[in-house]
């Protein structure tokens, strides 16, 4: 039996009020989402790591290459950008024999494209969007097929295609498409114009429903439609005013995405510690999301905003394997490429009247903690939870219900299964971005991400075998071993007799040199 964690019967009035804290610096933006003073989500964006993908420019064609069916476009970057004929809107328009099909054809082999030299010329001004960042000596890759991503929709201003993500089950796709078409037609015309002329008879752009919009309400869809179309008309207005090689739209920063994606009726306040960014964000909110503007507050306290709720401590804990529970139990969380495992342990908790109650109460507490850790660490994909074995069936039902209740607060779609025959609970959580550990950490260069290293004695015996191989293959006068101090100390002390025996067996002297720069598993054998 499979349970969807987004319950229809869940009373959302019981959801804790949210508070959003924003710590801004020129190099990094950090956002913490709190519920009742407890950190539930952590998001960050680093200035130097933010790419150009999604940015829209008024580009000037600097060179047309008929042989490559491409053109170089000057958009004001260090290197000219690259536009292929397949990414020209006029060529693409010929592909859509049925403009309202759910999935337009995408196989270039089936298409006949108009040659690029018949569509663009040197000096021409084109509105282009970056679809691939510059790499090395290569410039950015561009398209004239502008698309704007919203919270649950993607807007195609130069297309009238209405579609639904193919990741949504087929049986739901047609109904969602019809519903979206009606909503789009209900919000037509220029949002900046008060005139209700025959513009209203047109769809004014296409929309694609994203996978995360499968369960979006009409109100959420309408809000996204209005926001995206307003952003597009603003871009059109700027394109008529700005000179060539100007940027007319920059993909939303984390600060702006906070207003678009995180703020809802349960959000109590949004505090930001930068005066300049507060003013910019207020201006953005007043224009595009007036409901969020009233919740913005500038934090001017002396203590750093994240120190108020010990957020840095919570982040550091979220990078570790062990999570302590208030009862004395604990979780062990291991993240791998394929899946994430969570093991629940009673630890020092012995407070209940009997062992069954101890296990039950530990599992109940663990259910809420696991749901929080999934959000805080942003763990996606398959997650396997090993709750402590419970004998009573009603205990299992209660723990699963508690788990689902906490998961229902997660903005990311989560599907949970019941207890398996082995006593495990499996769930899937949609991957939306890199996990917190992937953002902040990298694999250890010493252990290569294994989390463990060989013991010094194991390394010593590896060295002995390597010396034996080298001595048989070559005929050195002497062999010199360089390794970490711990390995060398062991060879000179406890393993000294074995080292002497090896030296006598190969008939060569063996000298040792400790190197503090070498890792515990690293060594060099030099033949002299």
At 415-444, the pLDDT tens digits run 999 998 888 999 999 887 788 888 888 888
pLDDT value of residue 6: 41
* One domain, residues 119 and 159: yes
Residue 383 has pLDDT above 70, yes or no: yes
pLDDT value of residue 93: 40
- Mean predicted confidence (pLDDT) in 209-226: 85
pLDDT grade, residue 263 (50/70/90)? confident
Q: Which of 311, 333, 359 is the last residue of a domain?
A: 311
Alpha-carbon distance of 40 to 17, in angstroms, equals 12
* One domain, residues 75 and 168: yes
pLDDT value of residue 90: 62
How many structural domains does the chain have? Answer: 4
Alpha-carbon distance of 233 to 288, in angstroms, equals 12
Whether residue 446 is contained in a domain is answered as: no
Residue pLDDT, tens place only, 159-169: 888 888 887 88
Whether residue 9 is contained in a domain is answered as: no
pLDDT value of residue 385: 94
Whether residue 303 is contained in a domain is answered as: yes
- Mean predicted confidence (pLDDT) in 286-314: 89
pLDDT grade, residue 78 (50/70/90)? confident
Q: What is the mean pLDDT of the chain?
A: 84
Check which CATH number belongs to the domain holding 482 and give it. Answer: 3.40.1260.20
What is the domain range of residue 289? 18-49+255-311
- Mean predicted confidence (pLDDT) in 258-272: 88
* One domain, residues 42 and 76: no
Q: Which of 206, 228, 250 is the last residue of a domain?
A: 250
Single out the residue of 228, 189, 188 nearest to residue 208, CA to CA: 228
Residue pLDDT, tens place only, 98-116: 333 334 444 444 456 789 9
Residue 95 has pLDDT above 50, yes or no: no
**CA of residue 367 relative to chain centroid, distance:** 24
Q: How far apart are the first and last CA of the chain?
A: 69
pLDDT grade, residue 195 (50/70/90)? very low
Q: Name the packing angle between helices 496-506 and 485-492 (round to 10°).
A: 80
Residue 527 burial (C-beta neighbours within 10 Å; 0-12, 13-18, 19+) = middle
Residue 89 has pLDDT above 90, yes or no: no
CB 23 within 8 A of CB 304: yes
What is the b/e burial string over 430-453, where b = at least 16 CB atoms within 10 angstroms of the residue's CB?
eeeeebbbeeeeeeeeeeeeeeee
* One domain, residues 87 and 34: no
* One domain, residues 231 and 122: yes
């Amino acid at each position: 039996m499979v349970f969807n964690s987004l319950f229809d019967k869940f009373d959302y009035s019981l959801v804790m009020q949210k508070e959003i804290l924003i710590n801004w610096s020129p190099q990094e933006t950090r956002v913490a989402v709190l519920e009742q003073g407890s950190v539930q989500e952590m998001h960050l964006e680093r200035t130097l790591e933010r790419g150009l993908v999604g940015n829209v420019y008024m580009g000037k064609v600097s060179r047309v290459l008929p042989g490559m069916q491409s053109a170089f476009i000057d958009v004001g970057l260090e290197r000219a950008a690259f536009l292929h004929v397949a990414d020209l809107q006029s060529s693409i328009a010929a592909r859509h024999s049925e403009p309202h099909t759910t999935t337009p054809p995408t196989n270039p082999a089936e298409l006949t494209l108009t040659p690029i030299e018949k569509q663009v010329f040197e000096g021409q001004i084109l509105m282009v969007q970056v679809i691939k960042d510059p790499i090395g000596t290569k410039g950015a890759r561009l398209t004239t097929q502008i698309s704007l991503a919203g919270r649950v929709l993607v807007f195609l201003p130069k297309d009238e295609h209405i579609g639904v993500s193919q990741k949504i089950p087929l049986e739901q796709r047609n109904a969602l498409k019809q519903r979206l078409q009606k909503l789009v037609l209900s919000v037509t015309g220029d949002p900046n114009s008060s005139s209700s002329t025959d513009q209203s008879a047109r769809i004014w752009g296409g929309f694609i429903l994203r996978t995360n919009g499968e369960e979006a309400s009409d109100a959420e869809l309408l809000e996204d439609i209005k926001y995206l179309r307003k952003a597009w008309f603003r871009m059109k207005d700027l394109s008529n005013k700005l000179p060539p090689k100007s940027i007319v739209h920059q993909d939303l920063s984390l600060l702006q995405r906070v207003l678009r994606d995180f703020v809802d009726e349960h959000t109590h306040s949004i505090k930001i510690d930068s005066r300049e960014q507060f003013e910019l964000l207020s201006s953005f909110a007043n224009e595009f999301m007036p409901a969020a503007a009233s919740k913005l507050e500038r934090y001017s306290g002396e203590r750093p905003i994240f120190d108020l709720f010990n957020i840095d401590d919570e982040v550091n804990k979220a990078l570790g394997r062990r999570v302590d529970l208030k009862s004395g139990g604990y979780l062990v969380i291991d993240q791998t490429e394929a899946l994430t495992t969570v093991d629940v342990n009673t630890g020092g908790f012995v407070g209940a009247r009997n062992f069954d109650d101890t296990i039950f109460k530990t599992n109940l507490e663990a259910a809420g903690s696991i749901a929080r850790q999934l959000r805080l660490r942003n763990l996606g994909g398959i997650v396997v939870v090993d709750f402590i074995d419970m004998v009573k069936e009603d205990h299992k039902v209660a723990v699963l219900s508690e788990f689902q209740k906490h998961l229902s607060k997660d903005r990311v779609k989560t599907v949970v299964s019941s207890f398996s025959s082995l006593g495990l609970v499996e769930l899937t959580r949609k991957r939306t971005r890199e996990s917190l550990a992937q953002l902040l950490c990298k694999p250890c260069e010493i252990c290569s991400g294994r989390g463990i290293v060989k013991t010094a004695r194991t390394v010593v015996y590896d060295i002995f075998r390597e010396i034996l191989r080298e001595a048989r293959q070559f005929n050195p006068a002497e062999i010199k071993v360089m390794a970490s101090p711990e390995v060398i100390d062991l060879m000179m002390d406890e393993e000294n007799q074995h080292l002497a025996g090896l030296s006598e067996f190969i008939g060569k002297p063996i000298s040792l040199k400790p190197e503090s720069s070498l890792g515990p598993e690293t060594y060099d054998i030099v033949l002299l």
